[in-house]
Structures are given as C-alpha cells and as structure tokens.
A and B are shown apart, each in its own frame.
Chain A
Amino acid sequence: MKERLRRTRLYIPGNNPHFFEGLDLFGADQIIIDLEDAVPVEEKDATRILLKYALKNIKWNKFELTVRINPLSTPFGEKDLEIVVPGAPDGIYIPKAEKADDIIAVERIVERIRKESGIEKTIWIFPIIETARGVMNAYEIASSSHLVAGIAFGAEDFTADIGTKRTKEGKESFVARSLIVMAAKAASVAALDTVWSDVEDVDGLIESTKESKMLGFDGRGIIHPSQVEPVHNVFAPTKEEIEQALQIIEAMEEARKKGLGVIALGRKMIDAPVLARAKRIIEIAKLMGLI
C-alpha cells in the first residue's frame, strides 16, 4: 500500500542472520535491512547472497519489509537490486538521493527485474535525502516516480555535507527537515524523519519525536527495538484529539445534510482542511487500534 502507518523504520544490519529471526516480534511498522552503511565493503557480496536466501525462506508478515541498497553510483547498487527485487520486498530505500534521475534510474531497473521475475506486487521506492543538494531538490525527488511512497531524511550525512555537526536539539537541520516535509506533502508521499542514534537517551528520543510530529513527519528512523514503543506513543493521537475529530466529522456530516460548506463547532470554524485533519486522526487511531 502506498499509504500506511510508517511511524517507525527499524534499521537491521544485512549481514547478521541472528537479527532476522526476531523481526516479527519487534513491533516496528517498517524494517530496513541495510546493505549500505552497516555492511563493510568486503562483505557486500556475502550479504547480498544471505539476503537472497532470507527473502526466499523467511515469511515475515507483521511489518513492511524494505531493503536499503547501495547507491547506483557504487559498484554494488545494481547488483543489490538484481538480488533484492526477485525476493519481492515491499520497498527499496535509495541512499544519498540528490535528484530525480537518481530515482528514475532505480525505478527502471526495479521494474525490469520485477517483470523478468514475474513479480506482480508493487515495490515502493523510498529515497533518503542526506545532502544539501538533495534537500534543495526534495520535491523533484518526491515527485520523480509514481513508485515513491515516502522520502526520508538522513541527518548524519547531511550535517557532514553542510560542514557542521549533529546536535540533539537538531537546529542545524531544522530548515532541511521542514523543506523535506513540504516536499513530501506537496507530492502526497510520506515524510520520514532521521534516526535517533542514542539508544540510552529515551527522553531525548521522545522530545525529538514530538518535534518530528509537530513539523509534519509521519514517522522516524530507529536503530533498536526498544525505540519502537516511545515513538509509537508520540505519534498516537491523544484521547482529546480523537474525541474532537469525531465531533468535527459528525458536525460536518450534519452541515452537509443542510447544504452548508463551512460551520462552527464551539468557537472554531470547521472547513475542508480541518475536516481532512480530523479524518486523518481517526484513520491513524483506527490503524493503531485506539478506536
């Protein structure tokens, strides 16, 4: 599905089969099996083969399964796709996406292999934006292909690229993250924030995730299963938000029956965008089993 809950994407190193066994237990919305940064160059070949067998033999079904390939500009990217696509994951993450052509190149290869392998399911594409150039081209990237289901931000590489360092407050990436949210929303795809790398700092994770939600992100990256619950809690609509959303939807239904486009609920004007937000809250609440 192009639209679904993507509150957490949990990175799993591709070369360690021990991690594969418990993936269904972690509760993350999305798993990214990483062939890029988590795998040393001399292990890329064996990791690719391990993943080929894992995709064929393990039936995971409690999360959206994705794979982060190496960039096509390296000797590994296309080989990764040759192995990964026949295994029919739900999605492919493309690191260091900087322009629409980076995505179109991956789309062509994915679609060719998908057809050759007789795979009918759609394999979604998730570009990761982690350079200044990528941020400036975020909308072009997000709207480059109908297969793009979300764009993610990578803060570590981004801060290195602009010549600063990453802080817990994240002021250095505030503009970049906002631009990525704007681009994602304009292209009607998910906006996915960067990872929180300090597993011990749960309070920091919660505060940072509150900011992600406030900026408009739909989810964020994590590197440990213990980070799933705090992030899901932040993204959960509150009881008050759900109640208000239900009132808004009900009031709008009444107004429609009377032929009105805009109404007031209490002291607040209710119009189409307010209704859309209320519907989104109810949709998320239903997906999370809150109502």
Chain B
Amino acid sequence: MRIKKPAQAGRRDTSDLLVEVEPIEGNGIEIVLESSVKRLFGERIKEVAEGTIKRLGYEGVRCKIIDDGALDYVIQARIEAALMRATED
C-alpha cells in the first residue's frame, strides 16, 4: 500500500512523539530520527517504526520522528495515525 500525501500525527511532548510521513519513489522505507534518547534507544525506535510501517503493509515512505521518550506502543500508534491520514483522500 502507498500513501498519497504528507501527513503527521502526535506532538512534541513528554512521553509522546511527532511523526511526519511523506511518499517517496520506490518501495523503500526511510526512517529519520531526532530523539532525546537517540544514543541509548535510537536503533530500537527505528526498529519499532520500520516494523510498524511494514506490518501495516506500507512501502515507499519517508518517516521522520521527533521523539521525547515515548514508549513503543505510542510510537506504533502515532505512525499508524500518520499513515492513515496520509492515505485518506
């Protein structure tokens, strides 16, 4: 499945994150991460983000994440919301 337009979800706030997705050419998934806990958890956040996008069946997505210590379930929720918004007409 492909997204149709850029969209975002979430907030730059404690325990939350801002997710911005946009369509890119090809079938790849690019994750760009800014996080206050990047040094410790950067790889884990990217893994959760990419896993969520794939699980939901999307490809051709650039996903920028600005995170402030969100738990995995929040990352998954915000990515799903951004993708859903980016797919709507």
Contact = CB atoms under 8 A, between A and B. Distances in A.
A58 to B, nearest CB: 7
A110 B71 CA distance: 29
B85 interface: yes
Interface stretch (A47-55, A160-168, A248-256): A47-55
B37 interface: no
A48 to B, nearest CB: 9
B13 A53 contact: no
A18 B13 contact: yes
A17 interface: yes
Contacts of A50: 74, 77-78, 81
Contacts of A57: 71-73
B13 A54 contact: no
A17 B70 contact: yes
Interface string A15-54: 0111011000000000000000000000001100110111
B35 interface: no
Contacts of A56: 73
Contacts of B72: 57
A53 B73 contact: yes
B74 A53 contact: yes
A50 B15 CA distance: 12
A45 B16 contact: no
A46 B16 contact: no
Given A16-B16, A18-B13, A46-B9, A53 B76 contact: yes
A26 to B, nearest CB: 16
Interface in B48-89: 70-74, 76-78, 80-81, 84-85
Contact of B77 (A16, A18, A53): A53
Given A46-B78, A49-B81, A58 B73 contact: yes
27 contacts: A16-B13, A17-B15, A17-B16, A17-B71, A17-B77, A18-B15, A18-B16, A21-B15, A21-B71, A45-B81, A45-B85, A46-B9, A46-B10, A46-B77, A46-B78, A49-B77, A49-B81, A50-B77, A50-B78, A50-B81, A53-B73, A53-B74, A53-B76, A53-B80, A54-B77, A56-B73, A57-B73
Interface of A: 16-18, 20-21, 45-46, 49-50, 52-54, 56-58
